[in-house]
Amino acid sequence: MDAPPAVREKVGWWAPTSSQWAVRAELAVKAIFDLINQMQAAGTIGRYAIGGAVGATFYLEPSATLDVDIFVTLPMGPSQALLSLAPLYAFLLSRGGTMEGEHIVIDGWPVQFLPAADALDQEALAEAIETEVEGVRTWVMPAEHLAAIALRTGRPKDHNRVLQFLEQNSLDEARLQGILQRHGLTTKWERFQDKYLGDAHE
Amino acid sequence: MNKREMRRKLASLSFAEKINILEKLRDRSVTIAASGLRRKKDATSQNLKVDTQTRR
């Protein structure tokens, strides 16, 4: 397929470049995972796991998304008081990434790096599932953690994702309940059930 | 094949196959966004508003 120049002109930074548009045989997302693995090997980040819609795709049918969410742990030096994403950005910018708002665009895909902010994120990273995409190793958050994080975030699209997990029986109920209790999400879960599942959960 | 079976079938694909579909979905979204259809629709509704106001 020829690269449509009008695409980039009209939709801006999140459109694939001409060469990316033409070379779709090579998965852009695979290239992203490869680059993140290099960053991990270099010690710029610690553990990482794919979250959000791309992470959910590991368990569910694919659904359209515009970006990739990567949860990371960041190594912290003894003199550091705050975690910083600066080394991560420097690594990616030096390898062709470009900054656009809160995203860094790699191979035409906006990628958002989210430092593991709390115990739920850290647990999700610790229990992430190893998989591979065309020979490139990567990690995906467990389904129950993706659902719990979606519940915590609480936007309509997040609730929709939780419903998808439930509809497709992709969640281990006991494991999910354990996560919700450990991370103070039982009230949110009850509200979610009341709103979306009605009497079905009783 | 009904919708539920189709969804189950899609969910059972390998992660790499799903990623491939995900990229195509994204390309499609980008193409739709670039087509200007949404903008035309907005413009049309603006024109309708103008027409309505003019007729009053």
Confidence check: pLDDT of A192 > 90? yes
CA atoms within 13 A of residue A38's CA, in its CB half-sphere? 10
- Tens of pLDDT, residues B4-52: 888 889 999 999 999 999 999 988 888 888 887 766 555 555 555 555 4
- The CB density around residue A69, as the number of other CB atoms within 10 Å, is 19
Size of interface A-B (CB pairs under 8 A): 75
- Tens of pLDDT, residues A31-41: 999 999 999 99
Predicted complex: ipTM over 0.85? no
Q: B4, B13, B21, B27: best mutation site toward chain A, by most A Cβ within 10 Å?
A: B27
Interchain contact, A29 vs B22, CB within 8 Å: yes
Looking at residue B48, what is its pLDDT?
Answer: 52
Looking at residue B35, what is its pLDDT?
Answer: 82
SS3 A188: helix
Looking at residue B40, what is its pLDDT?
Answer: 56
Q: Is A99 on the interface with B (CB under 8 A)?
A: no
Does this model's pTM top 0.90? My answer is no
Interchain contact, A15 vs B19, CB within 8 Å: no
**Strands lying side by side in the sheet with A129-133:** A98-100, A103-106, A109-115, A68-72, A48-51, A136-140, A129-133
